[in-house]
Amino acid sequence: DADVTQTPRNRITKTGKRIMLECSQTKGHDRMYWYRQDPGLGLRLIYYSFDVKDINKGEISDGYSVSRQAQAKFSLSLESAIPNQTALYFCATSDRTSGLDTQYFGPGTRLTVL
Amino acid sequence: QQQVKQSPQSLIVQKGGIPIINCAYENTAFDYFPWYQQFPGKGPALLIAIRPDVSEKKEGRFTISFNKSAKQFSLHIMDSQPGDSATYFCAASSGYALNFGKGTSLLVTP
C-alpha cells in the first residue's frame, strides 16, 4: 500500500551494529505498529503507538526501541543487532475512528543480520 | 504464547475447490476477528472481518463462519482460483492490537 512506506526495503548489517527502520504514512491515521514476520511464526507485535505520546510494548519488544517523531512517522531501532533479529519487518497503521481497527500494512523491510 | 491458533499450516486444493482455514482463540475479550491475505513480497492486506454478534459473513467468494461458544472461526473460499494462492492469517483483537495466527500457505492448482 503506497500510503504506508518503509525504508529501507532491504538491509544487510553485521552483529552489534545499530540500525533504524523507518515508516511513514499519508493516511492520517493515529495508530501505528511494528511487527516482525518469521517463517512459520506469523506476525508478532513489537511495539505500537496510539499517538505521538503513547507508545506501548508488544509481545516481543526486547532488543528493540521505537520513536514516534510525528503522527505520520514511526521508527524502529535495533540498538545492537543480533542474527536472530533477521526477519521481515512490517509497519502498519490504523484509525481508531473506524471502529474496526483495520490495519494497513507497508511493503516490509527485509533485514539480515550477519 | 500464541493467543490465536491457526490450522492447517499449508493447504493445496484444485481450482474450484473450497479451502477451509480454521482458527481458535481463548481470550473471551476478543471482539474483532479479521482475516488478512498476503502475497509474496507484499504486506498483509485485510480480506474480510467479523464481529462476534454474527455467525457468518460473506464478501464475494470469501466467507467467515464464527462459533462464539466454541471460540472458533474459519475462512472458506468458494470456487477457489489460482490467483487466491497466498498466505492467509487470522487474527483477533480486543480493541488495541491484533493477535495473529501463524498463517496458512494456500496453493490453488489449475
Cell of B64: 467467515
Nearest to B91 by CA among B67, B73, B69: B73
To the nearest whole number, what is the mean pLDDT of chain B? 94
- Residue A100 has what pLDDT? 59
Does A42 contact B100 at a Cβ distance shorter than 8 Å? yes
Q: Residue A91: closest CA among chain B residues belongs to which residue? A: B43
Render pLDDT for B17-54 as a digit per residue (tens, 0 to 9).
999 999 999 999 999 999 999 999 899 999 999 998 99
Contacts of A9 in chain B (CB under 8 A): none
Q: What is the pLDDT of residues A13-63, one digit of tens each?
A: 999 999 999 999 999 999 999 999 998 888 999 999 999 999 999 989 999
Q: Do B42 and A101 touch (CB under 8 A)?
A: no
Is the C-alpha dihedral spanning A14, A16, A17, A23 positive or negative?
positive
CB contact under 8 A, B43 and A90: yes
Residues in chain A: 114
Chain A residues with CB-CB distance to B95 below 8 A: 101
Strand-by-strand arrangement of the B20-25 sheet = B4-7, B20-25, B72-77, B62-67, B56-59
| Angle of CA points A97, B92, A89, to nearest 5° | 85
Nearest by CB: A43 against B34, B96, B100: B100
Would you mind telling me the total number of residues written for chain B in this entry?
A: 110
Phi and psi at residue B83, to the nearest 5° = -70, -10
Q: Look up residue B19 and give its amino acid.
A: P
Residues of B in contact with A48 (CB under 8 A): 96-97
